[in-house]
Amino acid sequence: MAKTGSRATDSTVKNFEERLERLETLGERIRRTDIPLDEALKAFEEGIKLARTLEKDLEKIDSRIEILMNSADDIPSEEPSAEESLVAKSSPVLELFEAEG
């Protein structure tokens, strides 16, 4: 099933890249001086829509990266480092309530 997820990710990236290329093409078209104003306006409108969807996609990607980076930080190492062991041994134990016994 990992292949399915990989294919989905590949198609998402390809789709993103295709839309980005389309946006670049529209930008080049708008800069031309030999196209009618109404065509330039249509290209501009399409470009704005594309730019907004690409921006949303980038925000989603950024969130996924942040989650992955945070989850990688939460994975404990197999053995604590010497410094971590020293800190654990020297840390005071605070008892808020006396143990009943």
pLDDT at 84 over 70: no
Tally of domains in the chain: 1
pLDDT at 21 over 80: yes
64-77 per-position pLDDT tens digit: 999 988 887 776 65
Does residue 28 form part of some domain?
yes
Q: 60 lies in which domain range?
A: 10-69
Does residue 78 form part of some domain?
no
Q: The pTM is what? A: 0.56
pLDDT at 92 over 80: no
Least confident window among 20-29, 49-58, 81-90: 81-90
Contacting residues for 23 by C-beta, under 8 A, at least 6 apart: 47, 50, 51, 54
In the chain, the N- to C-terminal Cα span, in Å, equals: 53
Task: Determine contact, residues 19/50, Cβ cutoff 8 Å.
Answer: yes
CATH code: domain of residue 45: 1.10.287
Half-sphere exposure of 46 (CA within 13 A, CB side): 17
Dist. CA 46–CA 30, nearest whole Å: 11
Does residue 58 form part of some domain?
yes
